């Protein structure tokens, strides 16, 4: 009787611990509000210093799809974060949350109904290639403020992600304590923070206020789509708002207008300046037309013959795609130059396709409709200090080298893009 009674007492406890906690996906609406970090200019004035006012708690993990190695790395990474930073809340996209939550003995969070990432997410971290980073940025395409992005290169190219996954423990810790002054008690263990909350009892080496993580602020485009009457069109999924509210879309790489499957060349007039004070630059008769950021200059624009622009150069790049005229060359403009792309009545195709960072709009543009583009303002004019910066995509980079922002960019050109690589030599 004693043995049977013990079995009965233990069984319900085992079922409760394995069923009620593991199979749980919650809404990010339950999470505390987002923590906004500060960004401060450094001595070399190219990379910024990241400084948290309090530890980041709500971490969004974005992974490359259909890759078993990336999925395994995600499990290892997230288990480490939750084990060593127990106050962290793990956020995933809905499909990933449903797939991965059974692997954990704690709840995970995802997007539900009217909730939005930009109101809750403190830090975004990606595992994949450049496409994964673009996808992560697109989750904040209607937000003027993007949380810092820590990216691990596990994709095909990885030009935008400097960090190797083997360094994830150090990289995450450095970002987590970025800008925090050294704690009162330290050890030389270097194993990461203890199971206590916040920064109060961090163990190991602290970054300190003077050794904050370095941030490369990548400019985006502000994009609005207008009908024949000049009225702004509402967004389509995945950029649509629950209340059908229309506002600008932000793009990290480019906005693309293309003839698509139509056999006729597109007729697109490019105008510079604000509406009412515009000047016609030219009418592009081509397969399509690109307006790119410096970050996007090494993407589709480069394949179309555009020049390579350093990410710190505040500019817009206009690139025709297979133009009819051989004298039509790419043009670089100041980022604050308003650019309007208008579909001409002479356009023989029914519609012109529009894509923002690779996401194609379901409904194309017809004659008289416009796409208006301008570079995003990332710095508040006339104000100095930590609140000097706004907008943009804060990308965590390895800023320990003597070249600052040049280290990763030059390395990417030479190592990944094989810039000016000579014939007949092995890489």
Here the CATH number for the domain that contains residue 337 is 2.60.200.30
Phi, psi of 324 (to 5 degrees): -70, -35
The arithmetic mean of pLDDT across residues 25-41, rounded, is 90
Same domain, residue pair 254 and 348? yes
Same domain, residue pair 50 and 93? yes
Quote the pLDDT of residue 407. Answer: 62
Q: Which of 411, 386, 416 is nearest to 401 (CA)?
A: 411
Quote the pLDDT of residue 422. Answer: 80
* pLDDT-wise least confident of 129-133, 193-197, 204-208, 304-308: 193-197
Same domain, residue pair 88 and 140? yes
Confidence category of residue 189, pLDDT binned at 50, 70, 90: very low
The conformation of residue 209, written as its DSSP 8-state character, comes to G
Same domain, residue pair 186 and 232? no
Domain harbouring 68, CATH code: 3.40.50.10330
Same domain, residue pair 147 and 287? no
The arithmetic mean of pLDDT across residues 356-363, rounded, is 91
- Report the alpha-carbon distance of residue 226 to residue 245 in Å, rounded: 14
Is residue 390 a part of any domain in this protein?
no
Same domain, residue pair 108 and 209? yes
Give the domain range for residue 205: 26-218
Judge contact between 330 and 301, C-beta under 8 A. Answer: yes
Alpha helices of 139-294 — where are they, by DSSP H?
168-176
Same domain, residue pair 210 and 231? no
pLDDT single digits (tens) 140-170: 998 888 999 999 988 666 678 778 999 999 9
- Tokens describing residue 192: 């990461």
Same domain, residue pair 63 and 187? yes
pLDDT single digits (tens) 83-115: 999 999 999 999 999 888 888 888 999 988 767
Quote the pLDDT of residue 425. Answer: 65
Is residue 20 a part of any domain in this protein?
no
Question: Is 10 exposed, middle or buried, given 0-12, 13-18 or 19+ CB atoms closer than 10 A?
Answer: exposed
Judge contact between 154 and 128, C-beta under 8 A. Answer: yes
Cross-strand pairs, 150: 125
Judge contact between 338 and 376, C-beta under 8 A. Answer: no
pLDDT at 2 over 90: no
Same domain, residue pair 187 and 278? no
Confidence category of residue 40, pLDDT binned at 50, 70, 90: confident
Stated pTM of the model: 0.84
pLDDT single digits (tens) 248-280: 899 999 999 999 888 999 999 999 998 888 999
Same domain, residue pair 196 and 69? yes
Quote the pLDDT of residue 190. Answer: 40
Quote the pLDDT of residue 285. Answer: 95
Cα–Cα distances in Å, from 397 out to 10, 16, 404? 50, 44, 9
Same domain, residue pair 341 and 359? yes
Total domain count for the chain? Answer: 2
- Tokens describing residue 179: 């800008």
**DSSP codes, 230-261:** SPBPPP-TTS--TT----PEEESSEEEEE-TT
Helix (H) or strand (E) holding 70: helix 68-84
């Amino acid at each position: 009787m004693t043995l049977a009674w013990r079995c009965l007492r233990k069984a319900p406890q085992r079922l409760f611990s394995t069923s009620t906690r593991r199979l749980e996906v919650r809404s990010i609406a339950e999470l505390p509000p987002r923590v906004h970090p500060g960004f401060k200019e450094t001595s070399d004035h190219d990379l910024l210093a990241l400084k948290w006012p309090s530890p980041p708690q709500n971490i969004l993990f974005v992974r490359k799809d259909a890759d078993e190695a990336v999925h395994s790395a995600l499990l290892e990474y997230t288990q480490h974060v939750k084990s060593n930073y127990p106050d962290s809340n793990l956020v995933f996209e809905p499909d990933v949350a449903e797939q991965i939550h059974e692997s954990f003995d704690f709840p995970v969070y995802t997007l539900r109904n009217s909730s939005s990432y930009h109101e809750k997410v403190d830090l975004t971290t990606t595992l994949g290639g450049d496409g994964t980073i673009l996808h992560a940025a697109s989750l904040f395409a209607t937000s003027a403020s993007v949380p810092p992005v820590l990216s691990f290169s596990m994709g095909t190219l990885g030009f935008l992600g400097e960090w190797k996954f083997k360094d994830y423990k150090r990289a995450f810790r450095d970002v987590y304590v970025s800008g925090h002054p050294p704690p009162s008690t330290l050890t030389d263990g270097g194993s990461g923070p203890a199971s206590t909350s916040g920064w109060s009892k961090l163990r190991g080496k602290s970054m300190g206020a003077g050794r904050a993580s370095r941030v490369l602020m990548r400019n985006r485009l502000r994009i609005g789509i207008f009908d024949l009457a000049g009225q702004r069109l509402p967004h389509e999924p995945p950029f649509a708002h629950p209340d059908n509210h229309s506002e600008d879309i932000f793009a990290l790489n480019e906005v693309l207008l293309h003839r698509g499957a139509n056999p006729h060349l597109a007729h697109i007039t490019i105008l510079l300046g604000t509406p009412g004070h515009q000047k016609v630059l030219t009418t592009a008769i081509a397969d399509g037309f690109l307006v790119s950021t410096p970050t996007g200059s090494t993407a589709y624009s480069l394949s179309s013959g555009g020049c390579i622009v350093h990410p710190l150069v505040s500019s817009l790049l206009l690139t025709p795609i297979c133009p009819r005229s051989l004298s039509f060359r790419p043009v670089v403009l100041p980022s604050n130059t308003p650019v309007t792309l208008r579909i001409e009545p002479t356009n023989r195709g029914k519609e012109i396709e529009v894509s923002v960072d690779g996401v194609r709009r379901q409904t194309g543009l017809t004659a008289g409709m416009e796409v208006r583009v301008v570079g995003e303002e990332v710095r508040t004019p006339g104000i100095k200090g930590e609140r000097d910066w706004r907008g943009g995509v804060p990308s965590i980079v390895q800023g320990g080298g003597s070249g600052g922002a040049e280290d990763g960019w030059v390395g990417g050109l030479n190592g990944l893009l094989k810039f000016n690589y000579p014939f007949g030599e092995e890489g």
